[in-house]
């Protein structure tokens, strides 16, 4: 397996989970550090973006290891991607979004590098 | 009705979890460690660290091993060659020595570790069971017959499965609280932590518990097999897991066929799959046979594949495991998922992380019961100054099973470095130090199940792990300065040291936090403290 591809999948999983958490009232308020309401349109957008990122992560993992082992790898990636988010939402909620944006960029760069080298 | 169902599931979750959590913690911790069984064994055999470097082809390693055995194992009816692989640098050879009997009166099995490039004996590594001890411990326990151990583990795993499923039903806000962890809120924080590690790694927990039961299925559910084969278990195993027939020797000596062409043929037949082991029956006889066994594939399913050759002519005699039935394949997938032999280092690390989350899940579950119970009886405890027997027992067992077990693990690794290398029965002594340390910790914990005991034992285990890299530096030449800074030594050794350091520091941090809280409780004004100290880790301020 390829370290670049694996990192791409992991970055997508983290970004996807962050988007999904942004679609939830409690975490939205935590992240913005004030009583901010989440509009229904934004909620839908966050959810869609999060789901898309998680699906993309699955595709990356499946193309790395095939459908069988790829699924196993994907589930592990989901767990490993969600764990740091839970810690960030607790101890540094303000930075979660920034990091997620960074990982989206990283996922693109890594994905490109992986595609070019692979 | 719905509320009633959920409540009864909560009851089931509590009791199925509590009754078995201490055994399950042992299973989870030693099982998680077993993902790095080979790496742990390598760390525990510093004599082999130097050889971990240049890879040698399977064909070459097979030839050199044969060369060694032809000199040293003449007259043995059977040779076993374990070729090097990415996780194991040396060639291991074993042979049956009919001239020497072991304690049971059976012919002794001799073994040697070889340099795969030259076939020379490596400097004999220290005697240790290494990671194999932890691996066996996680499904057979120790100091009892294997069957008894497996029965106990199967029983507890069944409870675990019940606890997981009833836990899912009980968890009301599984999606709403998906990412939630609220620290410093006493019982709530323990609950959040328990939920978070359980939910985030839920697929893993379900998979590992269920597949764990599948690995023990011939013990737990033998009924189908027994009725279909009318009690003839041997016939079943022969059909389900075919073994090559062993031929009688012809008593005519003949040179053994070269290994390299056989290895090449097998690798071609398996589409580039690698040979893991070679077993040779009647070596040096005209009726010799060679059995090549494939290294676990990259697919999830673990079905043993092998090829049989005539030992003197090199002609192909047969293959096993090329086409397998759906039932065999299904078991192969379950078994493969559990042992994760197909996993490369990255995926193995993910399994390891999920396993650690399983350990935390079991530990927080055990603590939660005590925290809740103490809260429920807070008034009575404050009046009498003493908790009930059940609560004290659980709190004692929690300390013994969680902090005490970590002390036992630490002691096992310390014993590996400190026991003199040449002494008799060294491997058994290492294991004994594991259990002696654990017993001492457990007795102390049950005598004084107090918060101070948590602090003591967490500090002790923290020190044992945090200082392990230093002990390694003092006793070997492959310390972090070499393995990490100069990146010369094997990575497995560096990884072991780093993980041990991190774990030790985390444990010391936990102990320190506990001390602060204890101080805060004692000095908090306006609150009259009774003579007892709160025993649990639960926040009282």
- Average the pLDDT over each of A30-39, A101-110, B105-114, B160-169 and give the range with the smallest value: A30-39
Q: Which residues pair with B279 in a beta bridge?
A: B80, B291
Q: Do B181 and A90 lie within an 8 Å CB cutoff? A: yes
Element (DSSP H or E) covering residue B13: helix B2-34
DSSP symbols for B384-408: HSS--HHHHHHHHHHIIIIIHHHHH
- Residues from chain B that touch A70, judged by Cβ atoms under 8 A, are none
pLDDT > 50? residue B285: yes
The shortest CB-CB distance from B179 to any of A3, A27, A77 is to: A27
Q: What is the CA radius of gyration of chain A?
A: 15
Checking if the pLDDT of B206 tops 90, the result is yes
Q: Name the interface residues of B facing A (CB cutoff 8 Å).
A: 176, 178-183, 196, 200-201, 203-204, 298-301, 333, 337, 342-344, 346-347, 350-351, 353-354, 357
Predicted local confidence at residue A77, as pLDDT: 96
CA dist., res. B478 & res. B469, Å (int) = 10
Place of tokens 């005699």: B317
Residue in B closest to A5 by C-alpha:
B346
Percent of chain B with pLDDT over 90: 51
Give the nearest chain B residue to A68 (CA atoms).
Answer: B300
Q: Given an 8 Å threshold on Cβ–Cβ distance, is A83 in contact with B346?
A: no
User: In chain B, what residues touch A76 (CB-CB under 8 Å)?
Assistant: 204, 347, 350-351, 353-354
Report chain B's mean pLDDT, rounded to a whole number: 88
Q: What is the pLDDT of residue B3?
A: 64
Tell which of A26, A72, A80, A87 to mutate to test the B interface (max B CBs under 10 Å). A72
Mutate to test the interface with A, among B347, B364, B491 (most CBs of A within 10 A): B347
Identify the helix (H) or strand (E) that includes residue B100: strand B91-101
Inspect the interface and report whether the beta carbons of A76 and B351 lie closer than 8 Å: yes
**Min CA distance, B413 vs chain A (Å)?**
28
Cα(B265)–Cα(B319) distance, integer angstroms:
12
Strands B275-281 and B78-82: antiparallel
Give the one of B176, B180, B201 whose C-beta lies nearest to A79's C-beta.
B201
Dihedral in degrees, nearest 10, Cα atoms B220, B224, B226, B227: 150
Q: In 3-state terms, what secondary structure has residue B227?
A: helix
Q: Do A89 and B299 touch (CB under 8 A)?
A: no
CB atoms within 10 A of CB B129: 19
Strands B78-82 and B306-310: unpaired
pLDDT for A45-54, tens place per residue? 999 999 999 9
CA distance, residue B200 to nearest chain A CA (Å): 5
B245-278 residue pLDDT tens: 777 888 888 888 999 999 999 988 888 788 999 9
Task: Provide mean pLDDT across the span A67-77.
Answer: 92
The token pair that represents B300 in the structure block: 């999830």
Closest-approach residue (CA) in chain A for B342: A69
Which residues have CB under 8 Å from B252's CB, separation 6+? B285, B286, B287
For residue B179, the chain A residue with the least C-alpha distance is A86
| CB distance B275 to B267 below 8 Å | yes
Q: What are the DSSP calls for chain A, one per residue?
A: --HHHHHHHHHHHHHHHHHHHHTSHHHHHHHHTS-PPPPHHHHHHHHHHHHHHHHHHHHHHHHHHHHHHHHHHHHHHHHHHHHHHHHHHHH-HHHHHHHHHHHHHHHHHHHHHHHHH-
Chain A partners within 8 Å of B301 (Cβ) = 68
Beta bridge partners of residue B308, listed in sequence order? B291, B318
Place of tokens 């009301």: B172
- Torsion angle of alpha carbons B169, B171, B174, B180, nearest 10°? -160
Q: How confident is the model at residue B413 (pLDDT cuts 50, 70, 90)?
A: very high
For residue B278, the surrounding DSSP H or E stretch is strand B275-281
Mean pLDDT, residues B418-434: 93
Residue B535 pLDDT exceeds 50: no
Relative to beta strand B289-294, strand B316-320 is unpaired
Measured distance CA(B485)–CA(B477) in Å, rounded: 13
Lowest-confidence segment of B195-209, B260-274, B369-383, B523-537 by average pLDDT:
B523-537
Chain A nearest CA to B449, separation (Å): 31
Q: What is the pLDDT of residue B529?
A: 40
The pLDDT score that the predictor gives to residue B522 is 60
Give the helix, strand, coil percentages of chain B, each rounded to 5: 60, 10, 30
Q: Which of A21, A86, A88 to mutate to test the interface with B (most CBs of B within 10 A)?
A: A86
Q: What is the count of residue pairs from A and B with beta carbons less than 8 Å apart?
A: 71
Chain A closest CA to B198's CA: distance in Å?
10
Q: How far is CA B333 from each of CA A34, A78, B73, B338, B349, rounded to the nearest angstrom?
A: 49, 21, 38, 9, 20
Q: Average pLDDT for residues B512-525, to the nearest whole number?
A: 71
Of A27, A68, A79, the CB nearest to B354: A79
Q: What chain A residue is nearest to B349 in terms of C-alpha separation?
A: A76
**Is pLDDT at B167 greater than 60 in this prediction?**
yes
Q: Are B25 and B160 spatial neighbours (Cβ–Cβ below 8 Å)?
A: no
Number of alpha carbons in the 13 Å side-chain half-sphere of residue B111? 12
**What span, in angstroms and rounded, lies between the C-alpha atoms of B10 and A20?**
29
Mean pLDDT of B374-400: 90
Q: Domain locations in chain A? A: 3-117
- Chain A: nearest CA to B68, how far in angstroms? 35
Going by the DSSP 8-state scheme, the letter that residue B48 receives in this structure is G
Percent of chain B with pLDDT over 70: 94
Judged by CB atoms closer than 8 Å, whether chains meet at A83 and B183 is answered as no
Phi-psi region of B108 (alpha: psi -120 to 50; beta: other; left: phi over 0): beta
């Amino acid at each position: 397996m390829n370290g670049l591809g694996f990192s791409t999948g992991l970055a997508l999983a983290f970004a996807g989970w962050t988007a999904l958490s942004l679609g939830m009232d409690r975490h939205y308020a935590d992240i913005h550090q004030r009583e901010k309401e989440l509009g229904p349109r934004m909620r839908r957008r966050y959810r869609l973006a999060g789901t898309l990122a998680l699906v993309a992560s699955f595709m990356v993992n499946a193309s790395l290891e095939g459908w069988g082992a790829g699924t196993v790898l994907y589930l592990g990636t989901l767990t490993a991607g969600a764990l740091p988010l839970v810690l960030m939402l607790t101890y540094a909620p303000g930075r979660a979004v920034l990091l997620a944006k960074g990982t989206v960029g990283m996922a693109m760069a890594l994905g490109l590098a992986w595609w070019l080298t692979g | 009705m719905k509320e009633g169902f959920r409540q009864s599931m909560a009851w089931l979750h509590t009791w199925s979890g509590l009754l078995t959590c201490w055994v399950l913690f042992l299973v989870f911790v030693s099982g998680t460690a077993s993902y790095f069984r080979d790496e742990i064994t390598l760390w525990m055999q510093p004599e082999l660290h130097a050889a971990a470097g240049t890879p040698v082809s399977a064909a070459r390693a097979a030839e050199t091993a044969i060369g060694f055995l032809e000199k040293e194992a003449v007259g043995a009816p059977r040779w076993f060659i374990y070729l090097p692989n990415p996780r194991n640098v040396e060639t291991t050879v074993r042979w049956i020595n009919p001239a020497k009997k072991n304690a049971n009166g059976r012919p002794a099995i001799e073994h040697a570790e070889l340099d795969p490039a030259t076939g020379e004996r490596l400097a004999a590594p220290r005697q240790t069971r290494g990671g194999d001890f932890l691996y066996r411990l996680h499904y057979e326990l120790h100091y009892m017959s294997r069957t008894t151990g497996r029965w106990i583990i199967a029983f507890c795993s069944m409870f675990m499965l019940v606890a997981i499923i009833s836990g899912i039903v009980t968890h009301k806000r599984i999606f709403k609280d998906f990412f939630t962890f609220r620290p410093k809120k006493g019982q709530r924080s323990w609950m959040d932590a328990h939920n978070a590690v359980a939910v985030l790694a839920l697929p893993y927990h379900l998979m590992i518990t269920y597949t764990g039961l599948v690995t023990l299925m011939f013990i737990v559910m033998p009924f189908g097999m027994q009725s279909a084969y009318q009690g003839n278990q041997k016939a079943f195993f022969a059909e389900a897991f075919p073994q090559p027939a062993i031929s009688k020797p012809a008593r005519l000596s003949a040179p053994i066929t070269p290994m390299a062409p056989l290895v090449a043929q097998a690798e071609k037949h398996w589409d580039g799959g690698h040979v893991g082991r070679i077993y040779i029956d009647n070596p040096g006889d005209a009726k010799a046979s060679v059995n090549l066994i494939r290294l676990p594939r990259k697919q999830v399913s673990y079905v043993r594949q092998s090829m049989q050759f005539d030992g003197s002519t090199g002609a192909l005699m047969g293959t096993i495991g090329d086409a397998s039935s759906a039932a065999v394949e299904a078991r192969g997938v379950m078994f493969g998922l559990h042992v994760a032999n197909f996993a490369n280092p990255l995926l193995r690390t993910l399994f390891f992380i999920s396993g650690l989350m399983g350990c935390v899940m079991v530990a927080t579950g055990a603590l939660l019961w005590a925290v809740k119970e103490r809260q429920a009886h807070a008034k009575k405890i404050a009046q009498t100054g003493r908790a009930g027997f059940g609560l004290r027992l659980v709190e004692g067992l929690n300390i013994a099973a969680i902090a005490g077990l970590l002390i036992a693990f630490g002691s096992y690794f310390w014993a590996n470095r400190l026991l003199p290398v040449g002494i008799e029965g060294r491997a058994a002594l290492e294991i004994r130090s594991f259990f002696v340390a654990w017993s001492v910790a457990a007795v102390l914990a049950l005598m004084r199940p107090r918060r101070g005991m948590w602090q003591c034992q967490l500090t002790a285990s923290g020190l044992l792990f945090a200082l392990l890299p230093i002990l390694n530096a003092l006793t070997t030449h492959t310390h972090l300065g070499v393995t990490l800074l100069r990146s010369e030594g094997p990575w497995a050794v560096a990884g072991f040291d780093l993980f041990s350091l991190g774990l030790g520091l985390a444990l010391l941090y936990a102990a320190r936090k506990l001390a602060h809280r204890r101080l805060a409780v004692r000095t908090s004004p306006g609150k009259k403290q009774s003579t007892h100290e709160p025993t649990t880790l639960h926040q009282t301020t």
